[in-house]
Amino acid sequence: MKRLIENIRNKLSEKGLKVTPQRISILEAIYSLNNHPTADNIIEFIRVSHPNIATGTVYKVLDTLVENKLIKKVKTDRDILRYDGIVDNHHHIYCSECDLIEDYKDEELDVLLKEYFNKKQFEGFKLEDIVVQIRGTFDKC
């Protein structure tokens, strides 16, 4: 736990961001809440230890973290914005029945896509990132 917080401090100052208790607990919340929390999940989690944090602050910090690539936004077509503490390239599996979003890492796929798009070459466009959305239904749902 100590170690996690030390790690968070380093990440923040590496980016030239002020290390504030609010920023630390928000990142801590994202790392603790596994499944792509919403802003609301994060606020609820933090209020336990930090009852006075303002919702505006949480949104502002989340924006800052996204800008500095310490977290990612996850787009879903069905509901509100979610946040993802994993910034390595990875994909998402969306269940059509429940609201779950699962992470999907697949280096073989990454290589395949990278090679494909390298060959392709877009005119007038600088490619930054490719994310695959896999939609389907879990049998358990």
Partner DNA sequence: TCCTTAATGAGAGTCATTCTCCTTTAGTGA
Partner DNA sequence: TCACTAAAGGAGAATGACTCTCATTAAGGA
By CB under 8 A, is residue 98 in contact with its own copies?
Answer: no
- Least separation in angstroms between residue 19's CB and DNA is 4
Number of amino acids touching its own copies (CB under 8 A) = 35
By CB under 7 A, is residue 8 in contact with DNA?
Answer: no
Pick from 73, 87, 98, 114: which binds its own copies (CB under 8 A)? 73
In the range 79-98, which residues lie near DNA by CB under 7 A? 79-81
Residues 22 and 57: beta-carbon distance below 8 Å: yes
Residue 19 CA to residue 70 CA, distance in Å, equals 14
Pick from 4, 5, 54, 134: which binds DNA (CB under 7 A)? 54
Residue 51 CA to residue 22 CA, distance in Å, equals 11
Q: Which of 21, 75, 27 is nearest to 50 (CA)?
A: 21
